[in-house]
């Protein structure tokens, strides 16, 4: 997936007319059609329903339009910021994260880099899993932070591990087990559990949450769409959950290491072909201070 595909889809979706979209984009109508076809092939679904007289959005197209516009909006903001900083002696790195769970870990890394690279301007993008990968593979991100199991490695991609992150049981501070040194996952079979959308947390964490939820009654399982909602439900006492070890600001939560669980590998992904001195210096600082 690339920006040309997204631009073509957005214009056709908003105008419901291929000729008008081509006029706005200043390309041929056949080029617009090719971009739409290639996007649909890549996504494996039809986004538009076309007849000789009309163009309408399919349900998948309606859903995808908002995501496509969000991605393009974020890219436009990035471009504007880069233009503003070109004359300000600021060195910009575009850094990708695929979910909010990464930001706590990334904070530690950026603290070290801020001290050693005072001119560094880190432009952070937190974008859902599939979109962030496409931006990275199309070199619209300088580097990507994430958990090793969540990022498919291609031949031109390098991964360097920075941390091994334990899995933890996340419980309210008032929970009877809150002072335990570790907990077995079987302990949670008797609890309510909060389960998060798999794209909002590392895949191994989602897998563990789902394993535990299979032993718990449906009425004792609370579903949510993002990390902040998960933490809010745990804080409010609705249930416990599983997450990578994090530095929780709120004292309403306790993180207890999960017994006999394999730590997650967290690190940095970048392209072999990158020759940017700024990126090389950043990677050197990150890998030497982790």
Model confidence at 43, pLDDT cuts 50, 70, 90, reads confident
Residues of the chain with CATH 3.40.190.10: 89-163+265-289, 167-262
Question: Is the pLDDT reported for residue 28 higher than 80?
Answer: yes
Residues of the chain with CATH 1.10.10.10: 3-70
Model confidence at 227, pLDDT cuts 50, 70, 90, reads confident
Tens-digit pLDDT profile for residues 193-223: 999 877 778 889 999 999 999 999 999 999 9
> Which CATH class, in words, describes the domain spanning 3-70?
mainly alpha
> Directed axis angle between helix 59-85 and helix 3-15, to 10°?
120
Does CATH place domain 167-262 in 3.40.190.10? Answer: yes
> Directed axis angle between helix 3-15 and helix 29-43, to 10°?
110
**DSSP string over the chain:** --HHHHHHHHHHHHHS-HHHHHHHHTS-HHHHHHHHHHHHHHHTS--EEE-SS-EEE-HHHHHHHHHHHHHHHHHHHHHHHHHHHTTTT-EEEEEEESSTHHHHHHHHHHHHHHHH-TTEEEEEEE--HHHHHHHHHTT-SSEEEEEGGGSPPPTTEEEEEEEEE-EEEEEETTSTTTT-S-B-GGGGGGS-EEEE-GGGS-HHHHHHHHHHHTTS-GGGEEEESSHHHHHHHHHTTS-BEEEE----SSTTEEEEEBTTPPPEEEEEEEETT---HHHHHHHHHHHHH-
Mean pLDDT estimate for the chain = 85
Tens-digit pLDDT profile for residues 147-172: 888 888 888 889 999 889 999 999 99
Give yes or no for a contact between 204 and 149, defined as CB atoms under 8 angstroms apart.
yes
**DSSP string over 214-271:** TTS-GGGEEEESSHHHHHHHHHTTS-BEEEE----SSTTEEEEEBTTPPPEEEEEEEE
Whole-number pLDDT of residue 32 = 87
Whole-number pLDDT of residue 209 = 93
- Residues paired with 165 in a beta bridge: 264
Domain 89-163+265-289 adopts which CATH fold?
D-Maltodextrin-Binding Protein; domain 2 (3.40.190)
């Amino acid at each position: 997936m690339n920006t040309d595909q997204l631009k073509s889809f957005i214009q056709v979706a908003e105008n419901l007319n291929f000729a008008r979209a081509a006029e706005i984009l200043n390309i041929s109508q056949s080029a617009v059609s090719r971009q739409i076809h290639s996007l649909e092939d890549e996504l494996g679904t039809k986004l538009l329903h076309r007849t000789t007289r009309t163009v309408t959005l399919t349900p998948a197209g309606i859903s995808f339009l908002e995501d496509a516009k969000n991605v393009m909006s974020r890219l436009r903001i990035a471009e504007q910021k880069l233009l503003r900083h070109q004359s300000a002696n600021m060195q910009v790195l575009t850094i990708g994260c695929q979910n909010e769970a990464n930001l706590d870990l990334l904070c530690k890394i950026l603290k070290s880099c801020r001290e050693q690279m005072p001119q560094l301007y880190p432009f952070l993008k937190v974008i859902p899993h599939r979109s962030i990968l496409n931006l990275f593979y199309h070199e619209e991100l300088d580097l990507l932070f994430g958990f090793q199991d969540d990022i498919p490695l291609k031949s031109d991609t390098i991964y360097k591990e920075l941390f091994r992150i334990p899995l933890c049981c996340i419980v309210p501070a008032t929970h009877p087990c809150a002072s335990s040194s570790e907990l077995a996952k079987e302990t949670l079979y008797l609890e309510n559990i909060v389960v998060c959308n798999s794209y909002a947390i590392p895949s191994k964490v989602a897998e563990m949450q789902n394993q535990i939820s299979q032993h718990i009654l449906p009425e004792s399982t609370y579903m949510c769409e993002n990390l902040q909602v998960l933490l809010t439900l745990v804080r409010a006492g609705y249930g416990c959950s599983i997450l990578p070890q994090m530095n929780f600001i709120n004292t309403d939560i306790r993180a207890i290491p999960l017994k006999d669980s394999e730590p997650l590998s967290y690190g940095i992904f970048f392209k072999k072909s990158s020759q940017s001195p700024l990126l090389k210096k950043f990677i050197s600082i990150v890998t030497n201070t982790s």
